[in-house]
């Protein structure tokens, strides 16, 4: 990747960054490091929004926004880089438009394909810092492993309900801490709630996201002490920060290659799993499509032709769900295709229904995958 190094700020840039330039120990050379930096942000959602907005305002010269999803109504409570008029747009493109308004001196590259083992190294190569604000374990492990292979510093953040955490991971040729040192094994599928299930306080995204942006600026410029070897924990209800020291596991083998992260994290995709590409044919053949998410989740959209029966109701009385589907003019519950947000809950529901004598399918990747693929 060819990179041009800018050696001087323009007059308008000096005016824009005046409050930076007057900081003790900052100055124009430090601002130029920001201008010449390339930063990749994985996810333009709750955490990615403040990350991108503040990095753009700070003058990071090139931002790569990686997000395949589209803006929906349920995002707007916390994903502040998007507005009402952007519903239905790709999040990466929506973020690009907002960044252009914040700072026209920033170049933006949009990546609207999902980050996967097949493309992660190519997409992340050439950046100085990577920030991960995603909310699923396969992507977290993927980004951490890719950064370890590329020896890139990774600013990681996570939020759920009223609590957030962040750290800086950097393999540093086997000397530093990575996500795998903190979480050597993924949790069992469905054992940890996501934001769609547990909810998230909107303002918490700003608190953790801006802290992540601050860590990225420190890494790029060399000012301050980055959050290496430490995890910062924040309790929004108590307004309290805590810090936990972490260290590398000396027994852990270094990551040499990327793997199948859906399999690593136990995300069910086989054994009754339905591929998104096969869904139109199955629906044409008369199989029912059942959205088992909660009411707040479906408010942001459903797949065309789907019937909404919450997971709790479905498992409490499958026969009633079967009757409801038939009353709505659909095929019954037998052989129906269930989907949730990411495919984990629907796979659990599939297994529970099988024990009760009902054979159903589970949509691989859930609504999040299908909505951007169909």
Whether residue 337 is found in the same domain as residue 299: yes
Whether residue 286 is found in the same domain as residue 143: no
Task: Determine the Cα–Cα distance for residues 167 and 158; give it in Å rounded to an integer.
Answer: 9
Whether residue 298 is found in the same domain as residue 168: no
Closest CA to 290 of 316, 311, 319, 269: 311
Q: Give SS3 for 174.
A: coil
* Residue at which a domain ends, from 264, 281, 310: 264
Whether residue 107 is found in the same domain as residue 229: yes
Whether residue 279 is found in the same domain as residue 249: no
Residue 226 lies in a domain: yes
Residue 26 lies in a domain: no
CB neighbour burial string for 319-355, b if at least 16 within 10 angstroms, e if fewer: eebbebbeeeebbbbeebbbbbbbbbbbbbbbeebee
Whether residue 183 is found in the same domain as residue 162: yes
Q: What is the pLDDT along the chain (374 residues), one digit of tens a residue?
A: 567 899 999 999 999 999 999 999 899 999 999 999 999 999 999 999 999 999 999 999 999 999 988 898 889 999 999 999 999 899 999 999 999 999 999 999 999 998 999 999 999 999 999 999 998 899 999 999 999 999 999 999 999 999 999 999 999 877 899 999 999 988 876 667 667 667 899 999 999 999 999 999 999 999 999 999 999 999 999 999 999 999 999 999 999 999 988 778 866 554 557 888 889 999 999 999 999 998 888 887 899 999 999 999 999 999 999 999 999 999 999 999 999 987 878 888 998 999 999 999 999 888 887 887 76
Task: Determine the Cα–Cα distance for residues 36 and 131; give it in Å rounded to an integer.
Answer: 17
Contact yes or no for 361/346 (Cβ under 8 A): no
Residue 9 lies in a domain: no
Cα–Cα distances (Å) from 119 to 154, 170, 364, in that order, read 18, 21, 20
Whether residue 107 is found in the same domain as residue 193: yes
Contact yes or no for 233/243 (Cβ under 8 A): yes
* Residue at which a domain ends, from 208, 234, 264: 264
Residue 347 lies in a domain: yes
Whether residue 65 is found in the same domain as residue 205: yes
Contact yes or no for 91/69 (Cβ under 8 A): yes
Whether residue 247 is found in the same domain as residue 309: no
Report residue 19 as tokens: 């409050």
Residue 125 lies in a domain: yes
Expressed as residue numbers, the domain containing 361 is: 273-373
Whether residue 201 is found in the same domain as residue 335: no
Can you give the CATH number for the domain in which 105 is found?
3.40.50.720
Catalytic residues: 195, 340
């Amino acid at each position: 990747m060819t990179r041009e190094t800018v050696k001087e700020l323009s007059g308008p840039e000096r005016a824009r960054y005046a409050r930076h330039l007057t900081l003790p120990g900052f100055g124009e050379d430090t601002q130029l490091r920001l201008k010449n930096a390339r930063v990749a942000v994985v996810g333009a959602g709750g955490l990615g929004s403040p990350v991108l907005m503040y990095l753009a305002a700070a003058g990071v010269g090139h931002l790569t926004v990686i997000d395949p999803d589209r803006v929906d109504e349920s995002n707007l409570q916390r994903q502040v880089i998007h507005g009402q008029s952007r519903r239905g747009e790709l999040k990466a493109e929506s973020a690009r438009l907002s960044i252009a308004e914040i700072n026209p001196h920033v170049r933006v590259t949009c990546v609207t394909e999902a980050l996967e083992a097949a493309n992660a190294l190519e997409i992340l190569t050439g950046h100085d810092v990577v920030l991960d604000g995603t909310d699923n374990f396969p992507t977290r492990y993927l980004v951490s492993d890719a950064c370890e292979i590329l020896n890139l510093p990774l600013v990681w953040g996570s939020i759920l309900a009223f609590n957030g955490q962040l750290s800086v991971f950097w393999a540093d040729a086997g000397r530093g801490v990575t996500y795998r040192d903190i979480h050597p094994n993924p949790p069992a599928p469905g054992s940890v709630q996501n934001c769609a299930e547990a909810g998230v306080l909107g303002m918490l995204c700003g608190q953790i996201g801006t802290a992540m942006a601050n860590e990225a600026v420190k890494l790029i410029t060399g000012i301050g002490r980055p959050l290496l070897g430490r995890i910062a924990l924040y309790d929004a209800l108590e307004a309290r920060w805590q810090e936990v020291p972490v260290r590398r596991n000396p027994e852990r083998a270094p990551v040499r290659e990327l793997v199948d992260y859906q399999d690593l994290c136990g995300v069910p995709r086989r054994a009754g799993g339905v591929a998104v590409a096969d869904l139109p044919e199955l629906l044409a053949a008369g199989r029912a499509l059942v959205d088992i998410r909660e009411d707040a989740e479906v408010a942001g959209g459903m797949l065309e032709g789907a019937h909404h029966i919450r997971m709790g109701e479905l498992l409490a009385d499958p026969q009633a769900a079967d009757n409801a589907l038939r009353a709505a003019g659909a095929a019954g519950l037998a052989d129906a295709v269930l989907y949730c947000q990411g495919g984990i809950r629907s796979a659990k529901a599939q297994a529970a229904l099988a024990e009760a004598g009902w054979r159903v399918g589970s949509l691989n990747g859930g609504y999040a995958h299908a909505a951007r693929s169909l």
